Amino acid sequence: MARQGRSIFALTVPTFLWLTVAVVLPITVMFYFSFLSASPFGTKPASLTLDNYATFFTKDFYSFLAWRSIKLGLLVAALCALIGFPAALVLSHRLSGYWREALLLLVILPFWSNALIRIFAWTMVLREQGLVDQAVHAVLPWAPSVGILYSYPAIVIGLVHSFLPYMILTCYISLQAIDPSLVDAARGLGARDHTILRRIILPLSFPGLAVGAILTFVPVVGAFMEPRILGGRQGITMGTVIEDQFTEVFNWPLGAALSFILLGIVLAILALCYPLLRARFRLG
Amino acid sequence: MKLVASCALSALAAVAVLVGTQTAALHAADGEVRVLNWKGWGTDEPWAIEAFEKETGLKVVHDYITSFPETFTKLRVNPGYYDVVVLNAAFTQQAAAEGLIQPIDTSTIANFGVLFPDLRDSPELNIDGSNFGVVWMWGGTSVSYNTDVFPEPPTSLEVLWDPKYANRVCWRDDAEDSVRFAALATGQDPDKPADMDKIREKLLALKPQIKALWKSGDEWLKLVSAKECDLSTVWTNNTEAAAVQDKLPISFIVAKEGAIAFRDAMSIAKDAPNVKGAEAFINYMVSVPFYQGWVKVGGAPVSANKEAIEQLPESSLTRTVLAAPEALPRLNFKGPLTDEQRQSYLDLWQEVKASFAQ
Amino acid sequence: MSTVEIRGVSKRYGSVAALDDVSLEFADGEFFGLLGPSGSGKTTLLRSIAGFVEPDRGSIHVGGEEIARVPIYRRDIGMVFQNYALFPHMSVSDNIAFGLSVRGIGREEIRARVEDALKLVRLEGYGERRPRQLSGGQQQRVALARAVVSRPRVLLLDEPLGALDKNLRQQMQIELKQIQRLVGITTVLVTHDQEEALTLSDRIAVFNQGRVIQAGTPGEIYDSPRSAFVADFMGEANFFIGRVARRQGDEMQIVLDDGAAVMASGPSRLAENAAVRLVVRPEKMSISASEASIPPHHANRLAATVEQVVFMGSSITYRLNCAGAEVSVYQQNQDPPRAAEGGAVWISWRATDTIPVDD
Amino acid sequence: MMKKSLSGLSLAYLLLVLGFIYLPIVIMTAMAFNESSSYALPFRFSTKWFEQLASNDILLRAGWNSVLLAAANTVVATVLGTMTAIAFARYTFRGKVLLQILLFPPIAIPWLILATAMLIFFFYSGIGRGLHAMLLAHVALSLPYVIVIVGARLQSFGTDLEEAAATLGASPLQTFFRVTLPTIAPGVMAAALFAFGISFDQFVTSYFLSPPGVTTLPVEIYASIRKGFTPEINAISAIIILVSMLLLLAVSRFYRFAGNS
């Protein structure tokens, strides 16, 4: 046991310490701030209060926006899974050798480009007279103009684009580990494609799908850049509201309280799903 | 394995180089003037830095902000680092009260005398007899319009609410400006609006008009370039830059209800390591040659220097529309707001935006 | 090559005793089978020897050396896993060479020994293939070659043939035994398949609920099970319950519950009047159509009714009802069938084939 | 379905997805060659942004800083994250759930708030600002991604291979480098690529934690947005994407990281 204990210690302590210094302690400080009546370092004396948390419940639009952000997160995660899983399946089980490596790289690489520039590029695609519009008119000249920029769908497209690589990647990793002989065996037993998909591939690749969904859902709930630039008057989210508390009015306590409420909601949703996932697929 | 090893090695080398660069940056403090400002807001014009460095032998180092609250954060966490800080005059009092900036010995600023006295000696900058900021530039936030759509310039703010331009307004996503515009449009004092419900009503009524809510000058320029907006609320100097540099069909008005104006001033940070250098830099920044240069490259606001103003071309929008004698009385210079006001403005504006999204 | 001594080893998981005071000795070069139902502790013992499990109490000695403090990788063992655990990213040769190369053995020697190992398992020419490209039986042989190539002190086999189909399994059993004889490594086999254990092992230990129920040669275990569990687990057994009526030396007369008397012969600790459970192996019994045709040396005889006759090829299995109890009898497929379903017959056996067992 | 043949339909689908992913990248690159500084159309070809970039020392230096920082982050985050993922997958221990929960804040709390919190804490704890602080932050933000990505891969494999290696005489280190790592290499490489991306595009924390005078590419880009950034940014982004693409494609010729076929 001692030997194993040492290994665990050596494997986890660096990460533990790193996260403690860089995340836990700063967040603890911020958590403390969220109970202050005024911003620290300001001229006004600050006292402890629960008002910042109460604000969330007293102003109707906060809960409206929180719910909106969660719906957005679910929608984007679902779309990413819908688009990304088949792509990962093709990559992992229909391709091999150099092309598989190359295409996988091509999926991840755009992630290295600047998010702001990517978003501005989307504005050129989605606006009236933009690429989509012109493509539609090239085929159907009489069609009405289709500018979907500055709308809810534009936000969704931008976010799906930002997070799709996560989903493809995590699904790919799980799918790639499935032994093809398992599938051959199933086929030998007379299973059809959709049965194989449902009974073998989906359950076995579920860890990847679940991780992909978490990595998509969680950050989308707090996203502010894509909604703000692509959403027009639809662009307000919980993320932008929190951002404004920090950048516009220097109200760290309220901004922090709102973030912790959002974090709490996200963790609660994940906690609700966790036993379900664990029981069924031995996740984690 | 070799690949992993070589990756690790190159990364270690990278860390070493990084640490090297950084120490170099932190230790070359002598003979420097450190400026905290928005990026691309005059002080970092390459030709200006070159001229100043040549004249004084001092090196100019810039650090940038993306919002005013950030200025305060940066000053707090880097005490004794910055020399010159560019602040909107509405924030100068607060910075002075928090002890983040120090009084300026105006006798060392040769150009101090030729600044517009109204701007120079306003109570926002001259606090209890001490000058905490030297007024530098001023400009407006107003309504700009597409000159192809409007052969005749509109005259009233009401055009923003005109159903004819539904879905064609690009509004600056800023709580304070939004409230101030709505206050002007409803005939209230933008510094102390009495009827906030009226302002809420007015802003809620914008819903069908709004095409996009923009936050940075860059976003706005891209919107206008793509011909997304017939009307927008925007800084006047950005409008002029778009018209002159990007050749866009655009101009702005000072509406009959008025326009919002801002003043930026230069302050010296508390415990600035190079006060002399800071004074020299401020003096250069309010000089005629600097303004001349900035006007030439375009996008300059209005100088607080009486003599420099003459450098604006006769045809410039800034001169003919904003600084026109008949428009000047309609400008409402932003006064300082209390924290409570800022918070209530933001709450109001967020509530309005939430209803836009419903 | 070494002896393995296991002394008083116990291991608990929570309230469950996976190993309960187990003591065994494996002789040098011996092929030892650990047999038992799943969860009986046999795998836990194997993994304790390998080092994956640390016993709570007791000691394990290999070649006289206590190995509790020796890390797995210095225990000098070879192991074949149920799913073979071949390294998918290595060729067959590299798989086999792995144990040699981590010990820092020279390239040339490795090459030669891998060649030998491939020859040993009759896979010459397959060295460059990937494990995925081999059949199940071939993968099994690679796993075996990999485990023995570094001449470990002990070879551990964890259900090595479990993943193969029946024909291949029988063929591999023979090969496995041959190879083990050839390399002469002390070998421990874990299996739940009694036939496999009997075929391969020099000696067998039968496990149940964390304890060794009985250990001995396959013949001892099969012919003289000491308990009902062993008798039942090792092949098929007919059980009778009765009471010792009379005892004289090694001879005993037992009266069954229905009043019939049965003779048993052999050493026993049972006193007169004690309750007793008897086991008779189905192949030790004969079926006779009439009392007269019962073989004369069969001291025991009972009347029964045939319920089912199952033709098995080399033998025939009769299922009979004998005074309410179900009895199975195997007969060689030599003579014409002695009874038809529904017929009344006699079953008989020798007194020495009656085995009294503990409950 | 598992035949390694590529039907037209699945290829078409993959290309469609790739097209979706690359659409903005293509446009970004095209705008680097467009004369307008504000993405205005019609398109007029010009290389002036590349010429201006060549003489823009600040942007070039920022770009170089970004590459170095991202490289350092990639190595540290990948190594630490892989270690932790292994501990998660192979052992049960006290504090495991706590550590797993600790992974959520860096993903779930908006980076702006995290960055502010880091700035305050680093300032008062004496860690200060600078590249070391940026590295501290970037690694913390990358770790959760590395751990889940590598973890997903590890979960697909049992402990058998590692046990087999141990019985064959491989020490834990030998086992790790010769068995575990090659098996999970696809996951580790993918995680490394992500870690690089997270750092390379990391604006908020870099911005808050960079001392004056030391900037990275994203910091330069965001600081420019009040006045408007020029397509020089597109030009440098296009160059970086193209160079890394060629580099990685070349590497993948020699090194398999998409997994064993």
B174 pLDDT more than 80: yes
Together in a domain, B19 and B80: yes
Chain A contact for D138 (CB, 8 A cutoff) = no
In a domain, D154, yes or no: yes
User: Does residue D92 lie within any of the structural domains?
Assistant: yes
Q: Please tell me whether residues B150 and B123 are part of one structural domain.
A: no
Please indicate, yes or no, whether residues B101 and B133 belong to a single structural domain of this protein. Answer: yes
Residues B229-288 pLDDT 10s: 999 999 999 999 899 888 899 999 999 999 999 999 999 999 999 999 999 999 999 999
All residues at 6 or more sequence positions from C141 whose CB lies less than 8 Å from its CB, including other chains: C121, C122, C123, C172, C175
Contact C103 D161 (CB under 8 A): no
Q: Inform me whether the C-beta atom of residue D87 falls under 8 Å from chain A C-beta atoms.
A: yes
The architecture of the domain spanning A56-281 is: Orthogonal Bundle (1.10)
B251 with B150, same domain?
yes
Average pLDDT over residues C219-225: 91
Distance CA C22, CA B189 (A): 93
Residue in D160, D163, D168 closest to C102 by CB: D168
A138 burial level (CB within 10 Å; 0-12, 13-18, 19+) = exposed
pLDDT by position in tens, chain A (length 284): 456 778 888 889 999 999 999 999 999 998 999 999 887 776 677 889 999 999 999 988 999 999 999 999 999 999 999 999 999 998 887 777 777 878 888 888 888 888 888 888 898 888 877 888 888 888 888 877 777 889 999 999 999 999 999 899 888 888 887 777 677 777 777 777 788 888 888 888 887 888 889 889 988 988 888 898 899 889 899 888 988 888 788 888 998 899 899 888 888 888 888 776 665 544 43
> Using an 8 Å Cβ cutoff, are B12 and D79 in contact?
no
A181/C132 Cβ within 8 A: yes
Calculate mean pLDDT across residues C63-72: 89
Average pLDDT value for residue range C105-110: 93
Out of B175, B213, B343, closest to residue A235 by CB: B213
Do B337 and B209 share a structural domain?
Answer: yes
How many structural domains compose chain D?
1
B243 and B148, same domain (yes or no): yes
pLDDT for D142: 94
Q: What residues in chain C have their Cβ under 8 A from chain A's Cβ atoms?
A: 54, 71, 132
Average model confidence (pLDDT) across chain C: 89
Whether residue C155 has pLDDT greater than 90: yes
DSSP chain D: --SS---HHHHHHHHHHHHHHHHHHHHHHHHHTBS-TT--SS--B--HHHHHHHT-HHHHHHHHHHHHHHHHHHHHHHHHHHHHHHHHHH---TTHHHHHHHTHHHHHS-HHHHHHHHHHHHHHHT--SSHHHHHHHHHHHHHHHHHHHHHHHHHTS-SHHHHHHHHTT--HHHHIIIIIHHHHHHHHHHHHHHHHHHHHT--HHHHHHSPTT---HHHHHHHGGGT---THHHHHHHHHHHHHHHHHHHHHHH---S---
pLDDT at A273: 81
Helix, strand, coil tally for chain B in percent (to 5): 45, 20, 30
From chain D, the residues in CB contact with B8 under 8 A are 75
Q: What is the number of structural domains in chain B?
A: 2
For the cut 60, the answer to whether the pLDDT of residue C122 exceeds it is: yes
Least confident of A183-192, D10-19, D99-108: A183-192
Residue B239 located in a structural domain:
yes
| 8 Å CB contact of B207 and A64 | no
Claim to verify: residue B126 and residue B6 sit in the same structural domain: yes
* 3-class DSSP assignment, residue A56: helix
Same domain for B341 and B229, yes or no, is: yes
Give tens-digit pLDDT for D193-228: 889 988 988 887 887 888 777 888 888 887 776 566
Q: Which residues of C touch A3 (CB under 8 A)?
A: 71
- B179 with B233, same domain: the answer is yes
B186 and B42, same structural domain? no
Nearest Cα residue in chain B from D248:
B3
Summarised one tens digit per residue, pLDDT across range B87-118 is: 999 999 989 998 999 999 999 999 999 999 98
Q: According to the model, what pLDDT value does residue A183 have? A: 76
Task: Note whether residue B319 is domain-resident.
Answer: no
Is residue B278 assigned to a domain? Answer: yes
Contact across the interface for D170 and C74, Cβ inside 8 Å: no
The domain locations on chain A are: 56-281
- Please determine, for residue D174, whether its predicted confidence score (pLDDT) is greater than 60: yes
Range of the domain at B278: 2-138+262-310
3-state SS class at C22: strand
Peptide bond into B153 cis (omega under 30): no
In-domain check, residue B318 = no
Does residue B205 lie in a domain region?
yes
Instruction: Express each pLDDT in C223-263 by its tens digit.
Output: 889 899 999 888 889 999 888 888 888 888 889 888 888 88
CB C34 within 8 A of CB C189: yes
* Whole-number Å distance between alpha carbons of B234 and D235: 28
In degrees, rounded to 5, the angle at the alpha carbon of residue D115 between the alpha carbons of residues D111 and D119 is 175
Report percent pLDDT > 70 for chain B.
92
Task: Give yes or no for B110 touching D (CB within 8 A).
Answer: no
**In percent, how much of chain B has pLDDT > 90?**
61
pLDDT of residue B28: 45
Give pLDDT, residue A283.
41
CA distance B59 to chain A (A): 30
Residue C307, φ and ψ in degrees, nearest 5:
-105, -35
Q: Where are the alpha helices (DSSP H) in B105-159?
A: 117-120
Size of interface C-D (CB pairs under 8 A): 68
Q: Is residue B296 part of a domain?
A: yes
- Write out pLDDT tens, residues C195-213: 889 989 999 999 999 999 9
Terminal CA-CA length for chain D: 15
**D260 to chain B nearest CA, in Å?**
16
pLDDT of residue A142: 80
CATH of the domain at D240: 1.10.3720.10
Do residues B156 and B244 share a domain?
Answer: yes
Measured distance CA(D28)–CA(D45) in Å, rounded: 14
DSSP line for D129-190? SSHHHHHHHHHHHHHHHHHHHHHHHHHTS-SHHHHHHHHTT--HHHHIIIIIHHHHHHHHHH
Residue D2: pLDDT band (50, 70, 90) is very low
From the list D172, D170, D90, the residue with the least C-alpha distance to C78 is D170
Statement to judge: residues B107 and B213 lie in one domain: no
Q: Is D95 left (phi over 0), alpha (psi -120 to 50) or beta?
A: left
Tell me if B339 and A61 make a contact (CB, 8 A cut-off). Answer: no
pLDDT of residue B15: 52
d(CA A255, CA D115): 13
**CATH number of the structural domain spanning residue B103:** 3.40.190.10
In-domain check, residue D8: no
- For residue A130, the 8-state DSSP code is S
Q: Please write the tens of the pLDDT for every residue from B9-35.
A: 454 555 555 555 554 444 445 689 999
Per-residue pLDDT tens for B114-172? 999 988 998 889 988 899 999 999 999 999 999 999 999 999 999 999 999 999 999 99
* Domain presence at residue D27: no
pLDDT of residue B13: 52
Q: What is the pTM of this model?
A: 0.78
A178 alpha carbon, distance to own chain's centre: 25
Cβ within 8 Å of D, A 129-188? 129, 131, 161, 164-166, 168-170, 172-174, 176-178, 180, 183-184, 187
- For residue D137, what are the domain limits? 50-260
Which token pair is D71?
């490289």
Percent of chain D with pLDDT over 70: 92
Å between B18 CA and nearest CA of chain D:
7
Which B residues, 210 through 239, put their C-beta within 8 Å of a C-beta on chain A?
210-213, 215, 219, 222, 226-228
Set of chain A residues whose Cβ sits within 8 Å of the Cβ of B227: 129
